[in-house]
Amino acid sequence: MKVLAFAVSNSRKLINKDLFCCNTAPAETLLISYAEHNGNCTVADKKLFDWASRKNREVCQGKPIVMMATSAGAGGAKDALSLAMKSARLFAGSVMASLYAPEFCKHSDRCEGVLTNLDMVAQLQATLSPPQPT
Residue pair 44/31 in contact by the 8 Å Cβ criterion = no
Residue-wise pLDDT for 38-93, tens only, equals: 888 888 788 778 878 888 888 888 989 999 888 888 887 899 899 999 999 999 99
Q: What count of Cα atoms within 13 Å lies in the side-chain half-sphere of residue 2?
A: 7
3-128 CATH pick, 3.40.1360.10, 3.30.360.10, 3.40.50.620, 3.40.50.360: 3.40.50.360
Distances in Å between the Cα of 118 and the Cα atoms of 32, 60, 93, 121, 125 are 22, 31, 30, 5, 10
Q: What is the pLDDT of residue 23?
A: 61
Rounded-to-integer distance, Cα 65 and Cα 67, Å: 6
Give, to the nearest 10 degrees, the angle between helix 43-55 and helix 78-87: 10
Q: What is the pLDDT of residue 86?
A: 93
Residue-wise pLDDT for 10-25, tens only, equals: 666 555 555 565 567 7
Q: What is the pLDDT of residue 118?
A: 92
